Structure 1
Amino acid sequence: MLDDNEIIEIISEYDLELKNTDPELVEIIDNLICVDLKDEYMKLSYDERMIVILTTLITNQSVDLYEKLLTQALRNGFKPVIIKEMLYQTIVYVGLSKVYEFIDITNDIFDENGVDVPLPGQSITTNKTRKNEGYTIQADHYGKDWLDMKIKSTPDNQKQLWDYISAFGFGDIYTRGGISQKQRELITLAVLVSLRGCEDQLEIHMRGNLKVGNDENKIIAVLMILIPYIGFPRIHNALKILNKITI
């Protein structure tokens, strides 16, 4: 098994066809990753890098690239349970319509690589506990005073949205086993950075990342390694939000 310092996600290793048809592009992108961004990559573990990159590919509906990178990741020791939890959590932010196909793709890749499904269950809540458990995680990550203020300031005929967020988004998903809360906040960070029009939510979850222990330097490294996948403008926007809450 290779260690983190020996694994870099470069196109020339996972897309041989593109290397043959567009060798100059492959060289340019590989240089960006291996030379310009190498120090940023090394600030993150392999699991952290694959979590945010694969989440970004799902969010942007990059089916072919997802297939190639997921296959490589499995062969490099990326755990299937992390992949499944990443998929399930992404539904909260982009919806089932965008994740559904990736679940099938993932199961096919698992089958090709000898991974049996279903994986062991990770749910720990019940219908009676899911809302309260979800509220507790929200309050811990983003602050009870802030959360209660947001709920109180919501019009009465819309307050049920917060029940859904607590019960489904956090009670059903964030409470699950398989990955840590630090990893879960990185998943959400990657989704929101990749989406348009979610700046308010991105600020909330940047604060959540800091609260659970993903420090400023780790957040910056995540943003930088996503440059090849989502371009510079969204990274500029995300850094502006990070600077707002840390400077």
Structure 2
Amino acid sequence: MDRIELCREKFKELFGGEPVKNEGTDPEFMRILQRFIFGEICYTGDLDNQIRELITIVVLAVNQTLPQLKAHTQASLNVGCTPVEIREAIYQCAPFIGFPKTLNAIAVINEVFTEQKIALPIQSQETIPDDQRYQAGLAVQEQFYGNEWKGRYEWLTEEYAEAVPRFLTEFCFGDFATRTGLDAKRRELLILVIHAALGCAGDQIKSHTKGAMKAGNTPDTITGALLHAMPYMGFPRLLDALNAVGEILEGE
């Protein structure tokens, strides 16, 4: 099949309808968009529809492109992602994009869930009591990132030198990485994609590439995930991320 036929096939899988032909005010642009994303990008690499849609929704949450997030939340359900998986992917954005943007994204996915008569709130995925956030978070942090962060902020005054790494451990890892609903492999891959979508490069991308690989992601999966994110975040951020990832993969 050519990319027009592939686009039609993928679009139906995701959205249950037909791609644009001549409808709307800008059919030419929509044909370029749809044929590239759904006729080419979605067939490059071996990622399945479910992880592709989870990648898409976290990038859309990062960018706060909320109408598209609504469409892809429905697409995620259409290809078999569970409400829990979708919610956990969005929750995982919070340490990196902040609470307000995450709340905006949560409102959008909950709108879709309500339309689909999915009961809210969705079942809890918490696994640890509040007083174990640090130790449980530290176990995950050291598993995937070692102790490279230790001592990095000793130049701060005593209060902040203690608080910054503790908040990193308790919030990023204790509050989120200990939750069920997403396995570590997918969670770490999505964290890497979130950093790429934010425009992070250098040390943070390198660190999260190592973490994603320790969680079981292959170089091909990492490359495929970043490429899939490209139409939603742009080529410059893809290339910046690949440059940093390449330094890690070439050293393996």
The TM-score with structure 2 as length reference comes to 0.86
Q: Is 2:201–2:240's contact at 8 Å kept on the other side of the alignment?
A: no
Q: Relative to structure 2, which stretch is displaced further, 166-175 or 148-157?
A: 148-157
Specify which structure has the higher proportion of helix: 1
Q: Which residue of 1 aligns with 2:49?
A: 46
Give 2:28's match in structure 1, choosing from 24, 27, 36: 24
Aligned mates of 2:32, 2:21 — CA distance in 1? 16
Give 2:160's match in structure 1, choosing from 158, 162, 173: 158
Question: Structure 2: which amino acid aligns with 1:59?
Answer: V
Aligned mates of 1:122, 1:155 — CA distance in 2? 36
Q: Does 1:178 align with 2:202?
A: no
Q: Which residue of 2 aligns with 1:3?
A: none
Aligned mates of 1:83, 1:94 — CA distance in 2? 17
**Secondary structure, aligned partner of 2:170:** helix
Give 1:148's match in structure 2, choosing from 147, 150, 153: 150
> CA 1:93–1:203 in structure 2 vs 1: closer, same or farther (change >3 Å)?
same
Question: 1:49: how far off?
Answer: 0.6
Aligned mates of 1:65, 1:39 — CA distance in 2? 20
**CA deviation string 1:132-159 (max 9, x = no partner):** 1101101000123x24354667664432
Aligned mates of 2:49, 2:32 — CA distance in 1? 22
Q: Is 2:50–2:80's contact at 8 Å kept on the other side of the alignment?
A: no
**Secondary structure, aligned partner of 1:177:** coil
Q: Is 1:11–1:29's contact at 8 Å kept on the other side of the alignment?
A: no
Q: Which residue of 2 aligns with 1:82?
A: 85
Aligned mates of 1:151, 1:136 — CA distance in 2? 20
Aligned mates of 1:153, 1:185 — CA distance in 2? 29
Q: Is 1:14–1:69's contact at 8 Å kept on the other side of the alignment?
A: no
Q: Does 1:67 align with 2:70?
A: yes
Give 1:188's match in structure 2, choosing from 167, 174, 191: 191
Give 1:106's match in structure 2, choosing from 106, 109, 116: 109
**Secondary structure, aligned partner of 2:36:** helix
The TM-score with structure 1 as length reference comes to 0.87
Give 1:121's match in structure 2, choosing from 115, 124, 132: 124
Question: 1:73: how far off?
Answer: 2.1
Aligned mates of 1:75, 1:127 — CA distance in 2? 35
Question: Structure 2: which amino acid aligns with 1:148?
Answer: K
List 4+ stretches of structure 1 deviating above 3 A: 6-19, 147-157
Q: Is 1:15–1:68's contact at 8 Å kept on the other side of the alignment?
A: no
Q: Which residue of 2 aligns with 1:92?
A: 95
Q: Which residue of 2 aligns with 1:244?
A: 247
Aligned mates of 2:136, 2:153 — CA distance in 1? 16
